[in-house]
Amino acid sequence: MLIRSRFFAVCAFSAVLFAFTVPFAQAQKPALTKSVDEPGRSPYFDQGKGTCDQLCFVTFKAVPAGFRLVVTHASVVFYSFAGSEKFVFLQQNPLTYQQFLPAPGLTGGFDGTAYSYVASSPVTFYVEAGATPQLGVNRTALNSSAFGSISGYLVAIP
């Protein structure tokens, strides 16, 4: 009996000794992070008017230095002759590339002199610092107008 109690005493002592040699796991504070390019931190919206003569451009303000504009939605209202082939595009000026807005977003109605159209679509389009975003429309009525808007967010360029 004495041998058994000594055995348990040695085991208990070893367990206590082992417990103090192993470091305790301490709770760590979470690292604080912040996304500086989060869309909600630098929202962007601009609207403009363009005068049309077969081809129409609505030009927006230039992108500020040190930023890139990510356009997430573009829309335009314009007037056109009935039956004309029409397409709407978004481009960067100076012209480096274009993106066409999907044709299914094109709807319209007759106002007595010409057909009015609305094109509105989500897009993903990038405009570099110092460049000017433009919405373009082809085959519009002579001396008509187009009204456009773009929205998105600015991303800081390191």
What is residue 67's predicted lDDT score, i.e. its pLDDT? 92
Mean pLDDT, all residues of the chain: 77
* pLDDT higher at 4 or 119: 119
Pairing state of beta strands 115-127 and 145-156? unpaired
Give this prediction's pTM: 0.68
CA atoms in the 13 A half-sphere facing the CB of 150: 31
Give the pLDDT confidence of 90-104 residue by residue, as tens digits.
888 877 778 887 654
Task: Tell me the residue type at 135.
Answer: L
Domains within the chain, CATH numbers bracketed:
43-156 (2.60.120)
What token pair was written down for 19? 């417990």
Give the pLDDT confidence of 10-51 residue by residue, as tens digits.
666 666 655 566 565 666 777 777 666 676 778 999 999 987
